[in-house]
A and B are shown apart, each in its own frame.
Chain A
Amino acid sequence: MTEPAPASPAPIEALKDDVPQAPPRSQWRDVWDQFTKHKGAMFGGGFLLFITLAVLIGPFIWTVDPQDIDIRNKDMRPIYTAIWNSDADVSWAKPLGSDQLGRDNLAQMIAGGQASMAVGWAAMILSLVIGAGIGVIAGFFKKLDGPLMRLTDLFLSLPILPLLLVAVTLFRQPLRANFGPEGGMFILIVTVIAITSWMPTARIVRGDVLAIKEREFVLAARSIGTRPGKIIRRHLLPNVLSPIMVSAALGLATAIITESSLSFLGVGFPSDFPTWGKMLADAVQRMEHFPERVMLPGIAISLTVLSVNYLGDGLRDALDPRIRGR
C-alpha cells in the first residue's frame, strides 16, 4: 500500500445509517411488481379482463337479441369477407354474419361468452371451495387425513370424461323440470365439473397445511388457546392462498374447456341457448362453406384459455417467494 489511508474513519461511517435506505415494501407490492414483469401474464390478464368486460357490457352496446330469427338474412358472411370476395353476402347490420336461421353471430358470440365464462367461474369457485376445504381439513385434523385422502385417491381413479357424460345425461331431466332448461343445465354442469376437478387442489393444499401446521406461529396461537376454526381462518388459509390462486387459474381454464367439450358432444345446454362450444359444434356440419362460424368461437375459447393459462403461469412466478427475490 503506497497511498495514504483516508482521513475519515470508514467503518464507523458505514454503521451510521439509522434511516432506512429504501421505504418499506409490502408483500403484495412485491408480488405485483414481479407479476408485471411477466409479459405473458400481463397479456393474459389484460385479455381476460377484455373478454369479461366484452361479454358483460357487450349486450348493452350491441342490443340485438341473439335468439332473434331473421330468416331473410340467413347465412350472411362476416363483413371482412368483402375484402377478398366482393360478391359475398355481407352487411354492416350483421358484422360477423348470421347463421342458417339468420341469428346474428356477434350477438350469439356475446351471449355464448357470457354462458361459458359464467360456467367457468362458477365451476372454478365451487371446485376451489371443495378442494381447499377438504385439503385444509385433511391436513389439520389428523384423524380425518386418512379417510379424506383415500376419498381423493378414489376420485382420481375415476374415468372423468365418461362419468361427466353419464352424469349429465342422467340428471338432465329432473333438474330441467325443477329449475327450467337453462337454469337446470347450468347447475348440473357447474356441479358436475366441480365434483370431478377438486382433487389436485385438495392434495396441494393438504401438503402445504401439513408443513405450516408445524411452524412456531401456529404453536403460539394454539398455546394462547385459539380454537381450531380460528387457527384455520387466521393462520392457515392466508398462508395457503398462493397455491389456491394458482390452481384457481388452472381450474378456470379446465372448466371452460370441459363445458365447451360437453356442448360440443351435444350434452350441454339446450340447442337454443348459445355457448361457444355449442356454436362450434353446430357450425362443424357446414364448415366448408362458412369456416368463420367454426373459427370465431374456436378462437374465442382458445384465446380465453390461453390467457388464463398465462395468467396462472405469471401468478405462480409472482407468488413464489424464491423466484420473486431474483
Chain B
Amino acid sequence: MLTYATRRLILSIPTLLFISFVIFMLLQLAPGDPMAQVPLTVPPEVKQKMREALGLGEPPLVQYWKWLVQVLWLEPQVMIDWLTNDTFLFGWLPDTNLYNGELRVISWQTRSPVMDIILQRIPQTLMVVGIAYIVAILIALPIGIYSAYRQYSVFDQAGTFVTMIGFSIPPFFTGPLLIVIFSVQMGWLPSIYDTTHVVNDWESFKVQLQQMIMPVMVLALQITAQLSRYMRASMLDNLNQDYVRTARAKGLSEKIVVLVHVLRNSMIPVVTVIALGLPAIFGGAIITENVFKVNGIGQLLITALFANDLPMVMTLTFIFAVLIVLFNLIADVLYGLLDPRIRYD
C-alpha cells in the first residue's frame, strides 16, 4: 500500500505540471490587457514599461517558469514564515526567515500577492461550504440507510423523489427561490451573507446562524441528493449478502446487523465518494456564493475572471487542480485501506 501511494504521489507531479502548463498556455490566449484601466493620458511607452514590470515582456515559457518558481518555491517559504511567526498553532517553533523579499505572484487587480487574498477568502468559503458538507452528510447517511432497509416503501419512494429534485433543481434557482420566500415574503432571514460580521456574543451568533441557513441549505440539498443515492445503493448491495444472513442466524438483533455489520461494509464506497467531494469545499460553490454574495473563493475566481486578472485565475485553478488530484489519490488509498479485498500491489 505504501509503495502504491508513493507511486501515485510521484505520478501526480507530472500530471499537475502538465495541467498547469495547459492552463497557463490557455490563459496566454486571453485577449485582455492589464493596462486597459490605466488612463489614456499615460503615454504608450510608459504603459509598455508597466506591462514589463508585471512580467509581461518575457516569452511565455519564461513567464511560466517564473510563475512555477513563485508558486512552488517562494510561496511555501512565505507560508512557513507566517506559520512560525504569527500563528497560534506553530508560533512556539523558532521564527524562520526563509523568504527574503523576492517577487511573489502579484494580482493585477489589487497589486498585492495573490496568496494573501486567497488566504483572506478561504475562511468564508470553509465556513459556508464546509458546514454545508457536514450537514449534507448528516442528513444523507440516515436517509440512505433507511431507504435501503425499507426498499420500495413510502419513505424510499419519497426519498428517491427528493433526491431527484435535488439533482434537478439548479442552485441558481433554489437560491433566489429561498430568498423570495424567507427574505422577501417572510422577512426572517437576510438575503445577503455579511462576511464582516463578527461573532462575539449570543446575539451576534444568532445573526450569523440566520445568515448561514440559506446558503448552507442550498448547497446541502445538492450534496445530500448525491450522497444518499450512493449510500442507498451501497446498502442494497450488502443487505443481500451471505454474511448478513449468518449474522441474523446467529440471533443478533436487527439493529446490530444493520448498523454494525451492513453499515460498516457499505460505508467503504461512500467514504471514498465523500473524499472525492472534498475539493469542492475549497473550490467554493461559485454559483451559490454568487447568489448569496458570500465573498469566498468561488466569488474571487469569477471576479478575477471578469477583471482579466490572469495571475489570480491561474493560481486559483492550479490550486483547485492540486486539490482534485490529491483527494483522488486519498480516495483510492482509503479504499484500499478500508477494504481488505482490494489489493493494489
Q: Give A residues with C-beta under 8 Å from B.
A: 40, 153-154, 156-159, 161-163, 165-167, 169-171, 173, 253, 257, 260-261, 264-266, 277, 280-281, 284, 287-288, 291, 294-295, 298, 301-303, 305-306, 309-310, 313
A157-B321, A159-B317, A165-B301 given; A170·B30 CB < 8 A: yes
Report, as a range, how many residues of chain B touch the other chain.
Answer: 35 or more
Q: Mark B159-189, 1 if CB is under 8 A from A, else 0.
A: 0000011011110110011011000100000
A157-B325, A260-B170 given; A166·B176 CB < 8 A: no
| CB of B22 to closest CB in A, whole Å | 9
Contact of B19 among A154, A169, A173, A302 (CB under 8 A): A154
| CB of B135 to closest CB in A, whole Å | 22
Q: List, in ascending order, chain B residues with CB within 8 A of A303's CB.
A: 168
**Which residue on A lies nearest to B161, using beta carbons?**
A40
Task: Give the total number of A-B pairs whose CB atoms are below 8 A apart.
Answer: 115
A165-B305, A170-B27, A265-B287 given; A306·B165 CB < 8 A: yes
* A157/B287 in contact, CB under 8 A: no
21 contacts between A and B (CB under 8 A): A154-B15, A157-B15, A157-B324, A158-B321, A161-B286, A163-B23, A163-B317, A165-B286, A166-B305, A169-B30, A261-B170, A261-B287, A264-B170, A284-B176, A287-B179, A287-B184, A291-B180, A291-B184, A301-B173, A302-B168, A305-B169
Majority secondary structure, B binding face: helix
Residue B18 CB within 8 A of the other chain: yes
**Which residue on A lies nearest to B314, using beta carbons?**
A166
Q: List, in ascending order, chain B residues with CB within 8 A of A173's CB.
A: 31
| CB of B118 to closest CB in A, whole Å | 14
With the chains together, A301 CA to B287 CA distance in Å? 16
**Which residue on A lies nearest to B180, using beta carbons?**
A291
With the chains together, A305 CA to B283 CA distance in Å? 25
* A169/B184 in contact, CB under 8 A: no
With the chains together, A266 CA to B305 CA distance in Å? 12
Q: List, in ascending order, chain B residues with CB within 8 A of A295's CB.
A: 177
With the chains together, A173 CA to B32 CA distance in Å? 11
* B321/A298 in contact, CB under 8 A: no
* A287/B176 in contact, CB under 8 A: yes
Q: List, in ascending order, chain A residues with CB within 8 A of B179's CB.
A: 287
| CB of A293 to closest CB in B, whole Å | 10
- Which residues of chain B from 273 to 309 have any CB-CB distance to chain A below 8 Å in the complex? 279, 283, 286-287, 290-291, 301-302, 305-306
| CB of A257 to closest CB in B, whole Å | 5
* A280/B305 in contact, CB under 8 A: no
- Listed residue (A162, A284, A288, A295) with the most chain B CB atoms within 10 angstroms of its CB: A162
